[in-house]
Amino acid sequence: MTRRFVALAALALCLPSLAFAQKRKAPVKNVDHGEIYVNGAYQGSSGDVSSTVSFTANLETGSFTSKFRVMPGAAFDAGGRVRVWKRLGVGAAVTSFSANGTTDITGQVPHPFFFRTPRSITGEASIERKETAFHLRAVVSSPPGRRLQFSGFAGPVFFSVSQTLVDKANYSDAYPFDTATFTSATTRRVSKSKTGFGAGADVAYYFMKNLGVGFSASFASGSFDLRAVDDSPVAIKAGGGLAGLGLRIRF
């Protein structure tokens, strides 16, 4: 997909010379059969991923919680639309986002000698979130003016999320066992797909007949559960606010 957009961008670079050549001859009426775009984008946080896992140790139930905040970060956004009737069109886009970071782990480990005397552990583990979203859109566009063109869009979003979850908080302890020390975390990558909804707007500035730059702002969201190692649900939110800036090619 990315390679396709790069080819289109290269094509766009050739267009200014053509437009320049035409400019001196006669005014040309702008047409708008559709548009393709590619954005460098910034995606906001979709919230925290918090999972609590219970386990059995020393005849009691212990637990640990890992909390990972999906931090905002760079994203890739590309897509296009085709006008189908008057100012209405249909579009499709794909966005890709990933966030790496650490998750804070806090846990309670049962004492081997005594009931109801848990020991606390704290630690960190590396976590990765990857999101790929495929958007189908209904698009309403403004008439193609000399320079500016506005669009609004909305439609379903098909999310595919890959998230690292902490399966086990490993710890060490020794006599007299009054403390335990976090040593590492055993993690696992979990993937799941889910449909959500997205909407947004785009404004393009065409400094040439078919080539311009644009800014888009959109929001997409999908909520679903992953399953922790003990089969407890881990609520996930995908998507979030997305702001992008990039090339526009109109045809």
Partner 1 sequence: MRNVVVVALVFATGAWVHSQTPAPTDRVMRVTAAARALAPGQSDAGALADLRAWDQRVTDMQRAGDLRRLAGISDDMVAGGVDERFEQRHLGVRVFGGSLTRQLNRFGQAESVFGTIYPDVTIDVTPALAPDAAASRLAAAGNGVVLRTSPPELMIIPNDAGGYRLTYSARVFSAADGWVRRVFIDADTGATADSYIDSWTQTAAIGTGSGVIGDTKKIMTGQQGSSFIAADLLRPPDSNTYFGLPRTGILTFDLKGNLNRTLQVLDFLAPAVTDIAADSDNVWTDAAIVDAHTYAGYTYDFYYKRFGRKGLDNANLQMWLFTNPVKATDWPALFGQYGGTFFLNAFYSSGGNVTFGVGLPSTVTMSGKTWYPFSGALDVVAHELTHGVTDYTSDLIYRNESGALNESFSDMMGTAVEFDFQPVGNGIGQADWLEGEDIARPGGIRSLSNPNAYGHPDHYSLRRTTSADNGGVHTNSSIVNHMFYLAIAGGTNRVSGQTVVGVGFENRQQIERAIYRAFTVLMPASATFSAARAATIQAARDLYGTNSNAERALTAAWNAVGVS
Q: Which residues bind partner 1 (CB under 8 A)?
A: 58-59, 112-115, 175-178
Tokens read off for 214: 């644009």
For residue 110, the surrounding DSSP H or E stretch is none
Alpha carbon distances (Å) from 9 to 36, 75, 79, 90:
10, 18, 13, 21
CA distance 200 to 240: 11
CB 118, min distance to partner 1, A = 13
Residues 6+ apart with CB under 8 A from 141: 32, 35, 81, 83, 87, 89, 149, 150, 151
Closer CB to partner 1, 85 or 175, in the complex: 175
Closer CB to partner 1, 27 or 176, in the complex: 176
CA distance 81 to 199: 14
Closer CB to partner 1, 15 or 57, in the complex: 57
CB 177, min distance to partner 1, A = 7
CB 178, min distance to partner 1, A = 8
CA distance 182 to 173: 9
CB 117, min distance to partner 1, A = 10
Closer CB to partner 1, 150 or 177, in the complex: 177
CB 180, min distance to partner 1, A = 14
Identify which of 192, 242, 243, 238 has the alpha carbon closest to the alpha carbon of residue 47: 238
Q: Is 2 left (phi over 0), alpha (psi -120 to 50) or beta?
A: alpha
Closer CB to partner 1, 20 or 115, in the complex: 115
Closer CB to partner 1, 113 or 205, in the complex: 113
CB 176, min distance to partner 1, A = 6
